[in-house]
Amino acid sequence: MRILVLGNAHRPGVREEAARLLPFLRQHCEIVHIDLEQACDLSVHPADLTLVLGGDGAILRAARQMGYHQIPVLGVNLGRLGFLADLDPDALREVFPRVVRGEYRITEHLMFECLLEGPDERKLVLGLNEIALLSGPPFHTIALDLILDGEIVSGYSGDGLIISTPIGSTAHSLSAGGPILGQDLSAFVVTPICPHALTNRPVVECADKVYTIAVRRMWPDANLALVIDGQEHGRLTTEHRVTVRRAPVAFRLVKVPGHSYYRTLRDKLHWGAPPNYRREPSAADERRE
């Protein structure tokens, strides 16, 4: 097996953990390239698997870095949550020999292309989680129009708007009140941020449609930002349009036995956990009193 080793060396512990893991990895596979600076063109390094050291942010960067040559990703969590990177270094050492033997499955997930168009710019970015249009200082309300396949669907007035993939539905969109989507769905969820209307609710729509967001109105001194996967940023005016569509490639995630999507929801987000009920006193407790 040929692997790439990626990560963000600027995060605490990544470079040190890479140094500890590399001798172990070389016992089991061929490492064709190591990039902890996230600066290389990965399309020139053919590999069977990409090992990403860090948290979910490192995986999002790796997905964009691989571009239109997506290689299956196995994430090693060195961050706080690790929703996508659900193995710690000890668990990796335990399961990696089985991975090399092919004892794993690959799940494919929707990615998007985001096109930002303005008077003097045209920028295309590949993404995995979501795009968010966010009001900045002095935090005025902004008015946006959502257009699907050329038809105006709805107007939104509030703090912003999120268009998320199923993978991203457990991130920013969830915090803004959006639903959790099954990760294998071919759909986007549109989630308004603090809408100034009782009738604005998240909407789930087909990923085969073209989503366009137009800035209908904003205050002259307002700031409006486009944020892609929490990492790529751009400034918007009323002369800009943002278009989101399905990317021609899919993100490929390696899943090892015993690690499923719903287990991750339970373990990482405590989804479906019962309330922390107060324990009723027992007869023995009452006698001690």
Q: Which residues are catalytic?
A: 56
Q: Phi, psi at residue 82, to the nearest 5°?
A: 70, 55
- Contact (CB, 8 A) for 214 and 155: no
Check: CB of residue 252 under 8 Å from CB of residue 263: no
Q: Which uninterrupted H or E stretch holds 21?
A: helix 14-26
Residues 6+ apart with CB under 8 A from 106: 72, 252, 253, 254, 255
DSSP tag of 285: H
C-alpha separations of 84 from 7, 254, 263 in Å: 14, 10, 12
- Do the beta carbons of residue 53 and residue 20 sit within 8 Å? no
Give the helix, strand, coil percentages of the chain, each rounded to 5. Answer: 20, 40, 40
Q: Which amino acid is at 49?
A: L
